Amino acid sequence: MKFHPTKDQLEKSFNPAYEDIMSICDDLDIETKCGNEFIIQFLEDIVKDYKILVKQLKEEEEEEEKI
Q: How confident is the model at residue 2, as a pLDDT?
A: 80
With a cut of 80, say whether residue 67 has pLDDT above it.
Answer: no
Close Cβ partners of 29 (under 8 Å, ≥ 6 residues apart): 35, 36, 39
pLDDT band at 4 (very low <50, low <70, confident <90, very high): confident
- Domains in the chain: boundaries: 7-66
With a cut of 80, say whether residue 1 has pLDDT above it.
Answer: no
State pLDDT tens for residues 11-36.
998 999 999 999 999 999 999 998 89
Alpha helical stretches, state H, 1-67: 7-32, 36-66
* Whether the predicted model's global pTM rises above the 0.75 cut: no
Rounded Cα–Cα distance for residues 6 and 14 (Å): 12
